[in-house]
Structure 1
Amino acid sequence: MTMYKRASGLARFPGWLSLISVILLLLLSGCASVGGMTEKPQIVFGDASWDSAQIHDRVAGFIIEHGYGHPVAYQFGDTIPLLEGLSKGDIQVMMEVWYQNFQTSWRQFLKSGTVKDLGSNYSDAPQGWYVPTYLIKGDPARGIAPMAPDLKSVSDLAKYWNLFKDPEDPSKGRFYNAPSGWAVSTIDQKKMTVYGLDKYFKVFDPGSQTALDTSLLTAYQQGKPWVGYYWAPTWILGKLNMTLLAEPPYSATQWKKNYGCAFPPAPVHKAINSKLASTAPDVVSFLEKYHTTLDQTSAALAYMHDHNSDPQLAAIWYLRNYPNVWKQWVPADVATRVTKALSEVK
């Protein structure tokens, strides 16, 4: 009754009533009005902990925000928790899903129907166990003689374990694993056992990609031995001369059994929460067309490192340097808006 009386009283002031009606309509719709246009729903990216994923998130995020009008946000986390968030709808987009590292979980997410695979971001990224090439071939310019001239495969590590002595346990070598939050860290530990190398090496958890990078860079600058997990595309493998140690050829059967073979070809895919296809079909169409290369990604990573910048600035650099690439992903009007936004970034 009280509400009806208030409405009746305000009926004498049609201007106020109209204003209140508009406000109520906006509140009920959950949207705001900006510049005469209804603001679109926010799109949240699952921001994985490695640089290339963060750059691709921001390349796509810049295009979505300035070309399609959606506000964007970035949710930092590890792969599996981010995929769980993607499945629940707390996250809408992931630009780098290395699904070969967690195939069972990936199939479950897809089977649930809550996650949709949008195809490749870039093709067959290599990953595995690396050593600095100077260990094998030496580096005359730096006065480094070969330390392990016969080191070609993981099976040869047993013969050279003492080159990599663990400072905390000199009776074994130290293998620098991926951080424990990454799915591949468990795979590497199993590989170490399958290859019988757990007798010779301790698997060391660096705790973060930064710490892993620091361990490699420090060893490389000092010309010292180092062995551990790494992958491409990365600025480090773009700048340092590293050798990927051979493993038994990839076999789906062997991989499923105990990971005792080379890593499978590593396609890097994009994924969305399935509801995005209905709430923002134009954005999904763009994301389906989004495709880069290892070289382009490594170049953006090198820029980020060389200029001590962040992923956002590296994404701006990418968009400014590869317009002929990204303009193929979007309609002309979107490209025009993105180009204008780029021109306004200082």
Structure 2
Amino acid sequence: MFKKKIIGVLLGVCLATILLPGCSGSNQSKSDTTIKFADAGWDSIKFHNAVAMFIIQHGMGYKTEEVSGTTTLTYQALKNNDIDAYMEVWSDNLATYKDDVAKGNILELALNYGDNAQGLYVPRYVIEGDGKRNIKAVAPDLKTVEDLKKYKDIFADPESPGKGRIYGAIPGWEVDKILYNKYMSYGLDKYYTYFRPGSDAALAAAISTAYEQGQPVVSYYWEPTWLTGKYDLVKLQDTPYDPNTFKEGKGDFPAVPVTIAAAKNIAEKAPEVAEFLKKYQTSSAITAQALAYMADNKASYENTAKWFLKNNENLWSNWVTSQQLEKVKAALK
């Protein structure tokens, strides 16, 4: 996902001094071995870190730790064996990832999820209405990005009479260039203004405010996030993804395989951890639901992980042994 690479660079803090070499597990007990996780700065990776860390601590007896830094810094630390596990590798955004896996510089253990998405979204009630909220459908035939041309008055721009407003991506993000090209190449500039919010928080606030008021809004967004977990949003259809025209703004955004990667010595250092991470798999929807819970309840990452584990035993019980399962369940009581 193009946005994710930018987020890692913008939000990461270059803390190279804390990237200490991982301990060798060959001559140490589990309680003396620390499994280090990459914290590249975004909510979903921190959530998955918290889930994995809780299971590893309480089910296997290892110590755990997060190491914060930019995407570039933490990924290099993974290759150096200074970080043990990377719970969300947005694989298409790392130029050397496939080569690193092929050469054995790192290990790809599992696909965490591959059903992520991004594009232009509208609330479902815009298309279908919402009887519980007494909201009538105002754009019942809205299905595609092209269809927006018929509904500029529904998504009226308060600052530009006669035009609608599309909330675009954040200035500086790679996706903003692509989305603006889409806006131009599809001829939407004749009907809409392309409004750039100043930050991802401002974009989320624009969507959530409109949603809570039951108002129409069309906006760029991505999955998984707390907002897509909390609100019922519909991604507008586009023509199929084509790598040859994508940067021109033509065609849909592709899903990106979000993998779990590990240092090449993980099996030697902590074989139980390696086996566990090979089985770890969620989805964009599961991740978004957890982030929505965290936002609604102002919960910490650890408490959100506990909530997830208590409510999804049928999922994560497949990742662990029966003995590990009982230990984790006991820790959750």
Report TM bin, short chain. 0.7 to 0.9
Listed as ranges, the gaps of 5+ residues in structure 2 are: 1-21
| One of 85, 89, 94 as aligned partner of 2:86 | 94
TM-score where L is the length of structure 1: 0.72
1:39 to partner: Cα distance: 0.7
Summarize the alignment of residues 1-346 of structure 1 with structure 2, pairs less than 5 Å apart: 39-50=32-43, 52-76=44-68, 79=71, 82-100=74-92, 102=93, 104=95, 106-107=97-98, 109-110=100-101, 113-139=104-130, 141-161=132-152, 163-164=154-155, 173-179=164-170, 184-197=175-188, 200-208=192-200, 210-255=201-246, 258=248, 260-294=250-284, 296-343=286-333
TM-score where L is the length of structure 2: 0.74
Q: In 1, Cα distance between the equivalents of 2:71 and 2:101?
A: 15
Identity %: 39
Distance 1:205 1:96, change over 3 A: farther
Deviates more, 1:149-158 or 1:215-224: 149-158
Q: In 2, Cα distance between the equivalents of 1:111 and 1:167?
A: 53
Q: In 2, Cα distance between the equivalents of 1:83 and 1:127?
A: 24
1:86 alignment partner AA: L
Q: Is the 8 A contact 1:176 1:206 kept in 2?
A: no
Q: Is the 8 A contact 2:180 2:249 kept in 1?
A: no
Q: In 1, Cα distance between the equivalents of 2:155 and 2:96?
A: 34
Q: In 1, Cα distance between the equivalents of 2:300 and 2:123?
A: 27
Q: In 1, Cα distance between the equivalents of 2:188 and 2:73?
A: 31
Q: In 2, Cα distance between the equivalents of 1:219 and 1:192?
A: 22
Distance 1:141 1:59, change over 3 A: closer
Q: In 1, Cα distance between the equivalents of 2:84 and 2:299?
A: 26
Distance 1:167 1:83, change over 3 A: farther
**SS across alignment from 1:128:** strand
Q: Is the 8 A contact 1:304 1:310 kept in 2?
A: yes
For residues 292-339 of structure 1, give each alpha carbon's deviation from its aligned partner in whole angstroms, at most 9, with x where no partner exists.
245543443343244331221111112222334323222344334333
Q: In 2, Cα distance between the equivalents of 1:277 and 1:170?
A: 62
**SS across alignment from 2:108:** strand
Q: In 2, Cα distance between the equivalents of 1:158 and 1:82?
A: 43
Answer with 1 or 2: which has the greater Rg.
1
Q: In 2, Cα distance between the equivalents of 1:113 and 1:177?
A: 39
1:109 to partner: Cα distance: 4.9
Matched residue count: 308
**SS across alignment from 2:228:** helix
Q: Is the 8 A contact 1:130 1:230 kept in 2?
A: yes
1:246 to partner: Cα distance: 1.0
Q: In 2, Cα distance between the equivalents of 1:63 and 1:316?
A: 10
CA RMSD for the aligned pairs? 3.6
Q: In 2, Cα distance between the equivalents of 1:182 and 1:99?
A: 18
For residues 23-49 of structure 1, give each alpha carbon's deviation from its aligned partner in whole angstroms, at most 9, with x where no partner exists.
xxxxxx979xxxx87611341233441
